Amino acid sequence: MSLWPVYTGGSEPHDGIAKLPAPPPWRAFDGGPELDTPAEDDDTSAASPDRRHRARTYRATDRAVQLVNAALYLRRPLLVTGPPGSGKSSLAYAVARELKLGPVLRWNITSRTTLHDGLYQYDPLSRLYDAGRAAAREVPADSELQDHLRLGPLGTSLLPYRRPRALLIDEIDKGDLDLPNDLLNILEEGEYEIPELVRAARHTPAAEVMIAGTDDRVTVSRGRIRCRAFPFVVLTSNGEREFPPAFLRRCVRLELHQPRDAHLESIVRAHLGEPDAYARDLITRFLSRGTGGELATDQLLNAIYLTGVAGIDTASRDDLAEQLMPYLSRTRDDDEF
């Protein structure tokens, strides 16, 4: 019986991740003790309604399905490159929903982001403040190091979960030039240390530390964390920079393009139902305009939705649709719409 694929690109959640074969010997991890992956229910999830909707309605291409499975089977990060609006971040939510990987851990990258930000945050000032209050006998002297430390999205994803967590590292090309290289060892070894807890381990060998996205706590032994199921890591890039070869060879690489023809219509149908005659005309116009500059699929969805619910006359809605679909960038020889 074929074990390929576990991710199908379908819309219904299932337990296919349990059928994932053992990892390659060079990608096996043995962290422990095992933790249960938190469940995510569509009705109670802390994720925004927008993200839940995108997860349900995402339509993956055959190529995307193949490379998502390659990343899952090889226990490698998936580097997803594509223009804005091509569905890079939505892919992470869709995979997490279908395979029941729990809430997506999202790490948004900026020019000031460091590896430390993704692993954990420690606030020594709040600890010092608590110690001062205790000395003044305003509060009991029970402030602990662990009370001022919280794991970040990357750090949480590398806890020893029984099933992989989904980690979205969004827009990595916005980060410092050193960030991809800084990630290499963490993603290769699947483990890291928290120096503050390592130093304290002599007196406190186990610490109860808060995790990203919740006030739940996990036990960290002697300041060291090692994964068990390597997380499903999606790194998104707008293609604005090149990455070091050492980083690229450790990733499965997927390039997304703006959807076309039947694929684009299936996306419209998933979001807004069966398109009427006017919506089909907008789809055709959107596709024809795509040769003159860069457009994003959500521009088309906005135009179809608004012109369909506004109840305005044909001429006015034509003008509105044009205003909602301006080029994000133009080809060099196309200066006029």
What secondary structure does DSSP assign to 35-83, as a single string?
BPPPP--TTT-SS-HHHHHHHHH----HHHHHHHHHHHHHT--EEEE--
The distance of Cα 260 from the centroid of its chain, to the nearest Å, equals 24
- Answer whether 37's CB lies under 8 Å from 161's CB: yes
Domains of the chain in sequence order? 16-255 (3.40.50.300), 261-329 (no CATH)
pLDDT digits (tens, 9 = 90+) for 37-89: 898 754 434 457 777 888 899 999 999 999 999 999 999 999 999 988 889 99
Q: By percentage, how much of the chain surpasses pLDDT 90?
A: 64
Q: What is the mean pLDDT of residues 82-110?
A: 94
39-53, 109-123, 138-152, range with greatest mean pLDDT: 109-123
| Euclidean distance between CA atoms 151 and 224, whole angstroms | 12
| Euclidean distance between CA atoms 303 and 324, whole angstroms | 6
Q: Is the pLDDT of residue 131 over 80?
A: no
pLDDT of res. 143: 47
Q: Per-residue confidence at 1, pLDDT binned at 50, 70, 90?
A: low
- Number of C-alpha atoms within 13 angstroms, CB side, residue 235? 24
pLDDT of res. 142: 42
- Answer whether 72's CB lies under 8 Å from 232's CB: yes
List residues bridging with 237 in a β-sheet. Answer: 81
Sign (positive or negative) of CA dihedral 25, 30, 34, 38: negative
Q: Is the pLDDT of residue 313 over 60?
A: yes
Six token digits for residue 206: 């186990």
Q: Is the pLDDT of residue 173 over 70?
A: yes
Q: What is the pTM of this model?
A: 0.88
Q: Per-residue confidence at 336, pLDDT binned at 50, 70, 90?
A: very low
| Euclidean distance between CA atoms 156 and 213, whole angstroms | 9
Sign (positive or negative) of CA dihedral 192, 20, 165, 71: positive
Q: What is the mean pLDDT of residues 229-248?
A: 94
Q: Is the pLDDT of residue 25 over 50?
A: yes
pLDDT of res. 203: 84
Q: CA dist 119 to 1, 36, 147, 170, 202, Å?
A: 39, 20, 16, 15, 22
| Euclidean distance between CA atoms 75 and 80, whole angstroms | 15
pLDDT of res. 140: 44
Q: Per-residue confidence at 334, pLDDT binned at 50, 70, 90?
A: very low
pLDDT digits (tens, 9 = 90+) for 186-228: 999 999 999 999 988 888 899 999 999 888 999 999 999 999 9
Contacts with 212 (C-beta within 8 Å, 6 or more apart), sequence order: 105, 150, 151, 152, 153, 155, 156
Residue ranges of the alpha helices (H) in the chain?
49-57, 62-74, 88-99, 115-119, 124-135, 153-157, 179-189, 195-200, 245-248, 261-272, 277-289, 297-309, 314-324
Q: Phi first, then psi: what are they for 25, rounded to 5°?
A: -55, -30
Q: Per-residue confidence at 330, pLDDT binned at 50, 70, 90?
A: low
Q: Which residue has the tokens 């608004």?
A: 306
Please indicate whether residue 270 or residue 147 has the higher confidence score (pLDDT): 270
pLDDT of res. 327: 87
pLDDT of res. 41: 54
